[in-house]
Structure 1
Amino acid sequence: MNRPSLMLSRGVARVTEAALGPYQSAVVRIGFAGTWLLFLLREFPHRQELYGPSGPWGWNLARQLTADNHAFTALLWSDGQLWFECFYTLAVLASAALLLGWRTRTASVLFMVGVLSLQNRSVFVGDGGDNVLHLMALYLVFTRCGQVWSLDARRAAQEEAARAREERVPADRVGPVLWAVLGAALGTVTLTGRFDNGWLVPALLWTVWAGLGLWWAVGRRAAWEQPRILLDVVANILHNGALVVIMAEACLIYATAGWYKIQGSRWQDGTAVYYPLHLDYFSPWPALADLMSSSGTIMMIVAYGTVMVQIAFPFTLLNRRAKNILLVLMMIEHAVIAVVLGLPFFSLAMITADAVFLPTSFLRRLGDLAARARGRLARRAGRTVPGPRSPEESAADRVGFTA
């Protein structure tokens, strides 16, 4: 076999044999689920004004807009107050489940439905981070983001340990019940004609539901080894493809932002950062904004530095050290934006998008530190906890498609 063919076969094997980037996909899952959960909890007292049926952007106005742009939102299936409260609660619970990695595949689908429904219900609510969250919620559905740092991974590890001790593993009853309940709900919505604004989201929901059922059925038959391998390969390809799309999306965001900035006269003369610091909406700490804007040199350095970092970042992916340096700079920049301009959720969303490029070694050390901190807290409380697991343990690789 010649060298190009050998390289191609190795590449195909790498893409199909395993779901790559388990730590990176886990960070993306935790980051975006946590960002959305914090947003929903912070806005809970204001949920009626933002997304309620009697809010400023009324139910009829939202209905007319979605009829024109064919956006999906479950909040327009009914204008009742009870439906809104139940759905908002469901969105909170789905975000918490995805954050913890409980039934990750199902939680990711419910998370996507919650994000799309709330954001499309009131399109004027958001600060830029909502667009990133909107896209990433779709991509997360295709990833096996529960391989590590999840309750699914812990459950799989416990089952693997029980098999190693030749103990009987109890049958999973929660997954099939959850699958049946969601299938009944999806069938009811479809038969009543609620999916009237496009076919993409309904097709995705039905495909995932059918895939989960097929995965469970094949997993129950010990003799069906080849179909199980085939499904695992398909899941790995979808995961790896979605992870590449997430990375490309992050690069595209920075590249387009940088090139648009460089065309603006305020960015060219280095004064662009000065103006938002003096808008009431973006000045939670006026004294801090005045301190930063008091130096023209600082304003010029920040403006030029922002443009250069955003334009250069996609090209630094070819050099690991340069990429890591720019990652640190961009995360610091977003942290400053969160404090100075009062945009915490936008900054959290962008930091999470940046985190997909973090080195695996750093993320593993971060996980070990978190595990040790948890152990110390548990010992202070008089309890013991199991030590951290590595992703190489075979059980953790099979939890990405758990119902």
Structure 2
Amino acid sequence: MNRFSLCVSGVIARVTEAALGPYQTAVIRIGFSATWLLFLLREFPHRQEMYGPDGPWSWGLAEQLISTNGAFTALMWSDGRLWFECVYVLAVLASVLLLLGWRTRTMTVLFMVGVLSLQNRSIFMGDGGDNVLHLMGIYLVFTRCGQVWSLDARRARRAQAARARGERVVDRAGPVLWGVLGLALVAVTLAGRLFEGDRFIPLLLWVVWLAQALWWAVGRFGRSREPRILLDVVGNIVHNGALLVIMAEACLIYATAGWYKIQGTRWQDGTAVYYPLHLDYFSPWPALADLLSASGTMVLLVTYGTVAVQVAFPFTLFNRRVKNVLLAAMITEHAVIAVVLGLPFFSLAMIATDAVFLPTSFLRRLGGRAERAWGRLTARVRRAPEPAPPVPEGAKDAHVGHTA
């Protein structure tokens, strides 16, 4: 009984004392924000046809569907072209700032609003990766994904160093950003637009906004440390719970995909991989697809290997070595899918999901190498000689005459 009590108390202390997986959540933040940003930039010339007023899925059809399923999308607050452009630009800006890790708590909310607004406006624009991005955009709101590899982490280090020197640190950008977004939230709520459909996302927006105010007020005016410690414990619990949900979601995706494949006759006879390689829609490189499908043995091994890896992966999480091997195999598989089948954003979304299982030691080494490479690059830029100023024509002629 004593051992059990010690074990339970140790688990509780681990869950409440720290936000686990800081490097994994940072990779997820960077991966999904980069995936969504690249997608938005690639489709920028076609944004009006995909999600805007010029699309085949008109605003009226979207309104009828959303009145039935109650999905959240800010694009249904107005059918104007200017409003659409503002939402699209906001989605791009939120992705950039979340990628850099600037005010990550606020940017995760704006990132979620951008993802849900565009995807729920036109539900037929996707390749499978949009479903993963849809879910992870919501989960990121509950995580502390800016602990490392972010501008927030750098600002926190500088603030700590300033306090150690006895300097007073005042955050002005945070309250201003909170106030501006609060006015927008109040205006949309009073206009009756926010709670038109599903109430979960609107309530989440209000809860996060009020929680940010409470966090700032306790840090700014709190005389004792207990309220801040309590809020920190609650934040750690929410973060760790969201991290567990992300891991469970990844396992569920692979388990369901693998078991559904087992039930298909083409996967059972080992020929399933052959058919998508010869579809025009999934053949950006026909010669490469023909090369990969030329060997029946190769097709058989890839087909059975895909099913085996997807079904076995959730059961290997308790064995670190086997898990890492299967994780490398799945990441390689998604990279091949991105090139061979022409599904880059689906593959990027799945690779970002897989990153939650990457070892911390590997991520630290990766971050250290990236930091050293960046340091060498900036050092070379600083040492680069400045170009000599041009010599005036008169000075050239005078020099030639003098030497003559």
* TM-score tier after normalising by the smaller chain length: over 0.9
2:234 maps to 1:234: yes
Q: CA deviation at 1:383?
A: 7.3
The code of the aligned residue for 1:285 comes to W
2:167 maps to 1:167: yes
The aligned counterpart of 2:22 is 22
2:73 maps to 1:76: no
Q: CA deviation at 1:222?
A: 4.5
The aligned counterpart of 2:357 is 357
The 5 Å alignment of 1:98-247 reads 98-169=98-169, 171-194=170-193, 195-247=195-247
Secondary structure class of the residue paired with 1:381? helix
The code of the aligned residue for 1:164 comes to A
Work out which structure has the larger RCO, using CA pairs closer than 8 Å and 6 or more positions apart in sequence: 1
Secondary structure class of the residue paired with 1:273? helix
Deviations 1:344-397 (A, max 9, x none): 00000000100100000000000000000100110011079xxxxxxxxxxxxx
2:25 maps to 1:38: no
Checking the alignment, whether the CA contact within 8 Å between 1:218 and 1:224 is kept in structure 2 is no
2:348 maps to 1:317: no
Distance 1:383 1:354, change over 3 A: farther
The aligned counterpart of 2:380 is 380
Secondary structure class of the residue paired with 2:277? helix
The aligned counterpart of 2:95 is 95
CA distance in 1, matches of 2:74, 2:168: 42
The aligned counterpart of 1:394 is none
CA distance in 1, matches of 2:102, 2:176: 15
The aligned counterpart of 2:393 is none
Q: CA deviation at 1:163?
A: 1.4
The aligned counterpart of 2:371 is 371
The aligned counterpart of 1:401 is none
The code of the aligned residue for 1:290 comes to D
Q: CA deviation at 1:225?
A: 1.2
CA distance in 2, matches of 1:311, 1:111: 32
CA distance in 2, matches of 1:57, 1:38: 23
CA distance in 2, matches of 1:317, 1:95: 31
Secondary structure class of the residue paired with 2:115? helix
Distance 1:114 1:222, change over 3 A: same
CA distance in 1, matches of 2:59, 2:208: 30
TM-score (norm 1): 0.94
Secondary structure class of the residue paired with 1:382? helix
Distance 1:50 1:206, change over 3 A: same
2:249 maps to 1:249: yes
2:66 maps to 1:66: yes
The code of the aligned residue for 1:85 comes to E
Secondary structure class of the residue paired with 2:142? coil
Q: CA deviation at 1:168?
A: 3.0
CA distance in 2, matches of 1:224, 1:336: 55
Secondary structure class of the residue paired with 2:188? helix
Distance 1:383 1:111, change over 3 A: farther
Secondary structure class of the residue paired with 2:357? coil
2:275 maps to 1:275: yes
TM-score (norm 2): 0.94
Deviations 1:181-215 (A, max 9, x none): 10110111111111301211110000000000000
CA distance in 2, matches of 1:165, 1:199: 47
The code of the aligned residue for 1:245 comes to V
CA distance in 2, matches of 1:120, 1:224: 45
Q: CA deviation at 1:53?
A: 1.6
Secondary structure class of the residue paired with 1:356? helix
What percentage of residue pairs aligned between the two structures are identical? 76
Q: CA deviation at 1:162?
A: 1.2
Checking the alignment, whether the CA contact within 8 Å between 1:277 and 1:341 is kept in structure 2 is yes
How many residues of Structure 1 are paired with residues of Structure 2 in the alignment? 383
CA distance in 1, matches of 2:57, 2:51: 8
2:292 maps to 1:292: yes
Q: CA deviation at 1:161?
A: 1.0
The aligned counterpart of 1:264 is 264
Deviations 1:256-302 (A, max 9, x none): 00000000000000111111111111000000001111111111100
Gaps of at least 5 residues in structure 1 are 385-403
Checking the alignment, whether the CA contact within 8 Å between 1:316 and 1:322 is kept in structure 2 is yes
CA distance in 1, matches of 2:254, 2:361: 25
CA distance in 2, matches of 1:69, 1:37: 27
Deviates more, 1:374-383 or 1:324-333: 374-383
Deviations 1:64-121 (A, max 9, x none): 0011111000001100000000110000000011100000000000000000010000
Deviates more, 1:216-225 or 1:130-139: 216-225
Deviations 1:33-92 (A, max 9, x none): 000000000000010110002211100000100111110000011000000001100000
Checking the alignment, whether the CA contact within 8 Å between 1:331 and 1:351 is kept in structure 2 is yes
CA distance in 2, matches of 1:184, 1:346: 36
Gaps of at least 5 residues in structure 2 are 385-404
Deviations 1:285-327 (A, max 9, x none): 0000011111111111000000000000000101000000000
CA distance in 2, matches of 1:183, 1:92: 21
The code of the aligned residue for 1:221 comes to F
RMSD of aligned Cα (Å)? 1.1
